Amino acid sequence: MHYRTIRRCHFLCAFIAGILLLLALTGTKAYAAHTFYLDAVNGNDATDDGSSSKPYKTTVKAMSVVSSGDTILLNSGNYGTFMAGRTDPIDYAGNAVNLFTDWVSFKAAPAQTPHLNKIDLGTLMYLDSASNRHKLDIGNGQPAGNANAYLRFEGLTIDDGVSIEGSR
């Protein structure tokens, strides 16, 4: 009888371990993060694939292909102004901007010195900069941000600063 009890215990322990493993696996991301490469001098947005040997040229192209959790490594060069967020003034009173649900990182590639002229993030990207139309009213008369970007910039030189409007 003691032998059967031990076998049942082993079976039960293995069953519980299997359930815990299944729960752990279903909680992980279904998307595997990728690394893309940019080269402001030698990259090509039209024909290259974003690999280290065939890098893209612009941050605009990178933003069109990346997903949550991805990393973009930038070689030396000037990448102009980085802009992300809602740019259509007609849609300012509408829904929140959700660029990503997990961090996307723009990083200097090892031993490289990339530059951005400026970083413009959020929803204030039109001439009427004094207007509150770029923000959502949350009911208490206080405008609230309406942009979730999840963007990181590491090891880059930003020449003219960062502008963030409408963020949460």
Q: Which of 26-40, 95-109, 149-163 has the lowest mean pLDDT?
A: 26-40
Structure tokens that stand for 31 in this block: 């998307």
25 band by pLDDT with thresholds 50, 70 and 90: very low
Rounded Cα–Cα distance for residues 132 and 75 (Å):
38
Residues 6+ apart with CB under 8 A from 78: 40, 114, 115, 116, 117
Structure tokens that stand for 37 in this block: 């490469």
Whether 80 and 117 have beta carbons less than 8 Å apart is answered as yes
Q: Which tops the pLDDT comparison, 56 or 139?
A: 56
Question: Residue 127 pLDDT > 60, yes or no?
Answer: no
Question: Residue 33 pLDDT > 50, yes or no?
Answer: yes
Question: Residue 57 pLDDT > 80, yes or no?
Answer: yes
Supply angle C-alpha 66, 98, 100, rounded to 5.
30
Torsion sign across C-alpha atoms 62, 63, 66, 70: positive
Domain regions of the chain by residue span: 1-30, 31-165
6 band by pLDDT with thresholds 50, 70 and 90: low
Rounded Cα–Cα distance for residues 39 and 61 (Å):
12
Q: What's at 153, amino acid-wise?
A: F
Q: What is the mean pLDDT of residues 135-152?
A: 59
Question: Residue 135 pLDDT > 60, yes or no?
Answer: no
Q: What is the mean pLDDT of residues 56-74?
A: 94
Torsion sign across C-alpha atoms 77, 46, 35, 166: positive
Q: Which tops the pLDDT comparison, 101 or 16?
A: 101
